[in-house]
Amino acid sequence: MNRSRLGKTLIFAFLAALTAAAAFYLYQQRPTGLPAGLASGNGRLEAIEVDVSTKIAGRLSVLTPREGDMVEAGSVVGRIDAADLQAQLRAAEAQALQARQAVNETQAGVEKSASDAKLAGKTLQRSQELVARGFLSGATLDKDVTGVQGARAGLSQARSRVAEADAAVAAAVAKAESLKVNVDDTALKAPISGRVLYRLAEPGEVLAAGGKALTLLDLTDMYMTIYLPTAKAGQVALNSEARILLDALPGQPIPATVSFVAPKAQFTPREVETSSEREKLMFRIKLKADPAWLAAHRDLAKAGMPGIGYVRIDASQPWPAELPGTGK
C-alpha cells in the first residue's frame, strides 16, 4: 500500500513539474506589449494601379508586354492601327499647302488692286486739272471719280480675300495638327514605371476610345491602411513616422510615413481585428511606404501581403530597438 501511494505521489509530482514547465514556456513565449508612444493596426500592403488606355478607337495592332513584365515610364507598349489616320493627315497637309498658295494669289491680287487704285487716283488728279482749265468736260471728271471709287472697292475686296485665305490656312493647319496628335496617340505609352498586373487585350481586338490594354502596378507607390480607435487616432499627425511589418518579411520593417488621417470615424470593417470588441468606431490611417526602400527592394514587398502597421504617436518617444514580433 505504501508503495502504491508513493508511486501516485511521484506521478503527481511529475505532472506538476511538467505543468509548471509548460506554463513557464508559454510565459516566455507570450506576445510582448506595444512599446510606449506607438500604435498599431492590421492591414494589407496595397499598390497604386494605373491603366494603359487608348485615347482613340481602333484596332490594336501591337501589344508587347506580358503579365509580370516591367515597363519604363514613357516607353511604347502597344500601337493602334493608324493607316486611316495617316491618310487623313496627308490629305489635311495637302489642303494646308493649297491654302497657303491661295494666300499668295490673294496677296498678288491686293498688289494689283492697289496699283489700279493708285493709277485711278493719278488719272483723277489730271482730269481735275484739265477740267479746271476747260480742256475736259465734267462728264469725264465724273467718270474718273467713279473709276477711283471702283479701284478702292476692288482693293478692299482683295484685302478681304487675303483675310479669308489666312483663315483657311489656319483651319487647314489646325486640322492637320489635330490629326497628327491622333496619329501620335495611336502609340500606347506607359504612364508610369511598373510591373504589368493584367494584360486586358490582345492584338487584333478593336478597342473603343478609353479601352484598356494593360494595368500597371506602381511598385514605388505602396501603402497600408490601418484603423485606430479614437484615443489613438487623435494623437496621429500627418507625416508622422511609421513602420510596416509584413508577415512574409518579419525581419525587415519598411519605413513609412502617415500620408492620410480620416477626418471622421467609421464602423470597423469586418476584416480588421481590433483589440476590443467594444470598439466600434475607428479612424482610417494610411501609411505610405518609403519609395526609396521600395525601389531598393523591388522584388521583396508585394501588393496584397498582410502585416501590421506601426505609428509613432509620441514624437518624444524613440523607436524601440525591436518591434513586437520582429528582431528589429
Residue 155 has pLDDT above 70, yes or no: no
Confidence band, pLDDT 50/70/90 cuts, at residue 268? low
What distance, in Å, lies between the first and last C-alpha atoms of the chain? 59
Would you state the cell numbers that stand for residue 301, as one nine-digit string?
514587398
pLDDT digits (tens, 9 = 90+) for 188-217: 999 999 999 999 999 999 999 999 999 999
The top-scoring range by mean pLDDT among 13-17, 19-23, 137-141, 320-324 is 320-324
pTM > 0.85: no
Confidence band, pLDDT 50/70/90 cuts, at residue 78? very high
**CATH classification for the domain delimited by 51-81+187-213, as one of 3.90.1070.10, 2.40.50.100, 1.10.443.10, 3.40.50.200:** 2.40.50.100
Say what percent of the chain tops pLDDT 70.
65
The top-scoring range by mean pLDDT among 7-16, 92-101, 117-126 is 92-101
pLDDT at 142 (0 to 100): 56
What are residue 51's DSSP bridge partners?
A: 215
The top-scoring range by mean pLDDT among 11-25, 61-75, 123-137 is 61-75
Would you state the cell numbers that stand for residue 328, as one nine-digit string?
528589429
Confidence band, pLDDT 50/70/90 cuts, at residue 306? very high
DSSP annotation of 314 reads: -
What value does the mean pLDDT take over residues 257-273? 73
CATH number belonging to domain 34-47+219-312 = 2.40.30.170
3-class secondary-structure state, position 224: strand
Question: In terms of residues, how long is the chain?
Answer: 328
For 4, other C-beta atoms within 10 Å of its C-beta total 8
Residue 129 has pLDDT above 70, yes or no: no
What phi and psi, each to the nearest 5 degrees, are found at residue 272?
-100, 125
**More confidently predicted of 258 and 37:** 258
Residue 327 has pLDDT above 50, yes or no: no
What phi and psi, each to the nearest 5 degrees, are found at residue 81?
-55, 125
Q: What angle do CA 309, 41, 38 make, to 5 degrees?
A: 70
What phi and psi, each to the nearest 5 degrees, are found at residue 102?
-65, -35
pLDDT at 81 (0 to 100): 93
